[in-house]
A = this chain, B = another copy of it.
């Protein structure tokens, strides 16, 4: 029994997690699966009410909270967690649908600003209301306000970059 890894490893056998690791992994399975299903239900609600796909909605909501209802492609990629290439194509679809417009920056001609159109503003608001309603119904009402806040705080505490040596 390897004290460091918890592996039970014998000659001629396969590497395999011990009972402690197995229990941990099963917990993680239900956690990640549950979160994935929850997310899917919420986004399905949004798509049913506002007719907008998840990644598109994330862009619309970000722009709705941005000054002048616009932001450079760069920032959109960051909030989406997408590559810049993927972000370009999300923006293509939104522009094709008439929800955003592309405007080159005056100060730095490399950057392109995405700006909400009037119709994009409507869709963004409608979708946001739909998500908020679904959240209250499916999450906050089930957990209670404080446990929901605990949940958000726990995940947030895990999201700190551990690669900042000292600041």
Complex interface bits, A32-55 against B, C-beta within 8 A gives 1, otherwise 0: 111111111000000000000000
The answer to whether A25 and B159 have CB atoms under 8 Å apart is: no
Closest to A28 in B: B135
Cβ contacts under 8 Å, A135 to chain B = 24-25, 28
Asked if A104 is at the interface (CB within 8 A of a chain B CB), the reply is: no
Closest to A159 in B: B34
Closest to A36 in B: B81
Asked if A97 is at the interface (CB within 8 A of a chain B CB), the reply is: no
CA distance A126 to B159 in the complex (A): 26
Please count how many residues in chain A sit with their CB below 8 Å of the partner chain's CB atoms. 60
Asked if A103 is at the interface (CB within 8 A of a chain B CB), the reply is: no
- B-binding residues in A (CB < 8 A): 5-7, 14-17, 21-22, 24-25, 27-40, 61, 64-65, 79, 81, 118, 121-122, 125-126, 128-129, 131-133, 135-136, 138-140, 142-143, 147-152, 154-159, 162
Closest to A15 in B: B125
Cβ contacts under 8 Å, A132 to chain B = 6, 17, 21, 24-25
Closest to A26 in B: B65
The 3 closest A-B pairs by CB, nearest first: A15-B125, A34-B159, A21-B132
